[in-house]
Chain A
Amino acid sequence: MRMNTLVAFFAACLSFSMMAQAGQPRIVSADGSITETVYALGAEESLVGVDTTSNYPPEVRSQPRVGYLRALPFEGVLALRPDVLLTTMEAAPDRTLERLKQAGVEVIQLPVARSPQDTMARIREVGRVLGKGPEAGAMAADIQKRIERIGINTQGKPAQVLFLMAAGNHGVMIAGQDTAASALLDALGAGNAMGDMSGYKPANREALLASRPDAIVVAESRPGQFDIAQWPQLAALDAWKQGRYYVGDSMLLLGFGPRLPQAMEEVAGVLTEARPVASASD
C-alpha cells in the first residue's frame, strides 16, 4: 500500500498533459455536467470518483461519491488517490482545494458554463485534460451545428417564458434573472417572464397568474416530481391549456453540458408554437 501511495504521489507531480499522454490519469469529477462530458467522450475508465451532482448517465451511480461539490471533503477526495480533480469555480471550500494541491492533486477549476459558447469551450477543455482533444473538438462542432439548426427568434417580440424549478423541499421556485434557467432562455432568444426578479424565489401563486407567459418550462430534480394538480393557477394559464409547456429533468435543462442541444431543442419545441413568426426549421 505504501508503494502505491508513493506511485500515486509521483504520478500526481507530473503535469496533466504528460499524464494524458501516458494513458489514464485518475480523475475525480466534481460537477454533474463535467461528469456527463467525461462519459460522452468515452473516458469514463479514468474516473475514480464523482460528486453528488453527477447523476447522468445512469452508469455514474456505481462510482464512489465524494459528497457535494460545495462541501468537498479533503480526506475523502484524497482517499481515491486522484491525479486530477476536475471541477468548476463553484467548488468549495477553498481550503480543501488548496490542501489537495499541496498533496499533489492537480485541481482544475473550469468556468461555470452559461451559454452555448461556454459549453463548447468547456467540452474542449475537458477533452484536453483527458487527452481526447479531437473527440472533444468533434463533439463541440456537432453541438454548434445542432444549435444552429434551432431557429433563434430575432424578429418581433421574443416569446416570454415562465421557468419553474420543482426542487424537493423548497416546493416550486420561480427562476428569475442571473440563473442557469434564464441563461437557457437567452440562448434560445426567448425572454424570461419573471425577469424583474433575480435568483430562484418561492413561487407566488398570484404572480404566476399575472405573468401570462407564452410558454412554461418546469425543471424537475426527480422525474415526475412536479404535479400540476397542485398548481391549478398554472393549469389555468393559456400556455398550459394550449400545451405550450415542457416538463423535464433539471440537469438536462440547466447543466449546460453535452446535452445542451437536446435541452434547447426540447424547449424550442414549445416556443415555436408560441411564436406567430417562427423562424425555426432549416
Chain B
Amino acid sequence: MILGAALAVSVVSVTSGAYPLSTVDILGLLQGDLDDEIARMVLFDVRLPRLILGFLVGAVLAVSGAILQGLFRNPLADPGLIGVSAGASLAAVAVIVLGGTWLGGWLDLAGVWALPIAAFAGGSGTVFLAWRIARRAGRTSVATLLLAGIAINAIAGAGTGLLTFYSSDEELRSLTFWTMGSLGHAAWDDVAMAGPWLLLSLCAAPFLARPLDAFLLGEHVVGHLGYNADWAKRAAVLIAGLGVGAAVAVSGLIGFVGLVVPHLVRQALGAGHRIVIPASALAGGTLLVGADCLARVVVAPAELPIGLMMALIGGPFFLLLLLRTRIT
C-alpha cells in the first residue's frame, strides 16, 4: 500500500510544479518526441533530481528516527537527539556568517560545496563526539549517549545563537532560510554527493532490525540472544549520524519526519523492526516528496520552505491520530 502511495506521489511530483508541463509534454519528453530544451531542463534537471533527493532524504530521516527510537527505547527520540542537526546547523551557520571573512581562502576552494560539506562534517562530528563521551571502558552507555546528545545540542545551539547575533542582516536572512529546509535547489550534483551516503545508511539499516528487536526487551537481553550489543549501538549511531548528516547537508533542517513516521508505521504494521525499518523508509520518502509537491504548488510561482510545510501538514495530522488512538 505504501509502495502504491510512493508511486503515486512520484508521478504527482514529476507532473506538478510552477512551470506548466502537461502529461502529454512529459510523455513526449520521455520518448524523445518533444524537442523543447527548457521543458527538458525542467523535467530532467529540476524535478527528477528533486524527486530522488527528496525521497532519499525523507527515507533516511524516517529510518534514522526508527533506529534511534529503538536504540533508546524512547518514542521521543529523533535524529536531532544525538546532536546531528545542532552540529550541522552550527557548522552551516559558521560558514554563512564567517565564510566571507575568516574562512575566506578555504571557502574559495570548496565553492558552492562549502555549506553542505561543513554541515555534513558538523553533523557527523557531533555524533562522533557524543558517542565518544558515552563510551567508557569499551562499553557504550545508551543513557550517557542521550544525555551527551542533549548537552551537545545545547552547546551547539548556543554557538549558533552567538553567530546569529554577530551576523549581518543579509546573513541572518540566508541562515533563516537554511534552518527551514528546502529541496528547491536540488540538482544532480547533490544527488551524486549525498546519494551514496544516504543509500549506504538505508542499505545498512535493515541489518540492525534483529538487534533492535532484542533491545526492546531490554539491553541485557541483547547479549543473551546472541547479538553483540555494543556493535549494534555503534552501528546504529554511525548509520543515523552519517545518513542524517548527509541529508541535512543537502536539504537543510527538516524536522518531523524522523520523529513521526516511525510511529505511524508502528501503529499500522506493528513494532517489529524488520518491517518498521523498510516501511519507514518508504513512508518517509513518500511523505517528504508529497510535502515537497505541496510546498512548490500552493504559493506558486514562489515556494514554501519544506520544513515549514512538513510541520504544517504533519502536525495536525499527527495530533488527529493521537486523539483517535493512544500511541504507546
CA distance A200 to B169 in the complex (A): 7
**Interface residues of A, count at CB 8 A:** 39
When the two chains form their complex, are residues B302 and A76 in contact, meaning their CB atoms are under 8 A apart?
Answer: yes
CB pair A79 B20 closer than 8 Å: yes
Q: Is A49 a contact partner of B301 (Cβ separation < 8 A)?
A: yes
Interface size on B, residues (CB 8 A): 37
Q: Are A5 and B39 in contact (CB under 8 A)?
A: yes
Known: A1-B20, A95-B185. A73 touches B301 (CB 8 A): yes
Query: Does B230 sit at the interface, judged by CB under 8 A?
Result: no
Is B109 part of the binding interface, using a Cβ–Cβ cutoff of 8 Å?
no
Identify which of residues 44-68 in chain A touch chain B, using a CB-to-CB cut-off of 8 Å: 49, 52, 64-68
Contacts of B177 in A (CB 8 A): 68, 70-71
Closest-CB distance, B97 to chain A (whole angstroms) = 11
Pick the contact of B302: A67, A178, A199 (CB < 8 A). A67
Q: Is the CB of A102 within 8 A of B184?
A: no
CA A2 to CA B6, docked complex, whole Å:
30
In the bound complex, residues from chain A placing their C-beta under 8 Å from that of B102 are none
Q: Is B173 an interface residue (CB 8 A)?
A: yes
Q: Are the C-beta atoms of B185 and A65 separated by less than 8 Å?
A: no
Interchain CB contact (< 8 A) of A70 among B18, B170, B187? B170
Q: Is A246's CB within 8 Å of the partner chain B?
A: no
A77 touches B301 (CB 8 A): yes
A104 to chain B, nearest CB (A): 7
What is the bound-complex CA distance between A137 and B84, given in angstroms?
55
Q: Are B303 and A67 in contact (CB under 8 A)?
A: yes
On whether the beta carbons of A76 and B41 are closer than 8 Å, the reply is no
| A79 lies within 8 A of B19 (CB) | yes
Which of B259-314 touch A at CB < 8 Å?
296, 299-303, 305
Restricting to A1-19, which residues have a CB under 8 Å from any CB of B?
1-2, 5-6, 8-9
Q: Contacting B36 at CB < 8 Å: which of A6, A78, A198?
A: A6
> Is B25 interfacial (CB 8 A cutoff)?
yes
Contact indicator B38/A5 (Cβ below 8 Å): yes
B262 to chain A, nearest CB (A): 30
15 pairs, A vs B, C-beta closer than 8 Å: A5-B36, A9-B37, A49-B301, A67-B303, A68-B173, A71-B177, A71-B184, A75-B17, A77-B301, A95-B185, A96-B185, A99-B45, A104-B37, A178-B168, A199-B169
- Top 10 A-B pairs, shortest CB-CB distance: A76-B301, A67-B302, A79-B18, A73-B303, A76-B18, A79-B19, A75-B18, A199-B168, A75-B19, A66-B301
- Given A8-B38, A80-B301, A95-B187, list of 5 further CB < 8 A pairs? A70-B170, A74-B46, A74-B184, A75-B296, A79-B19
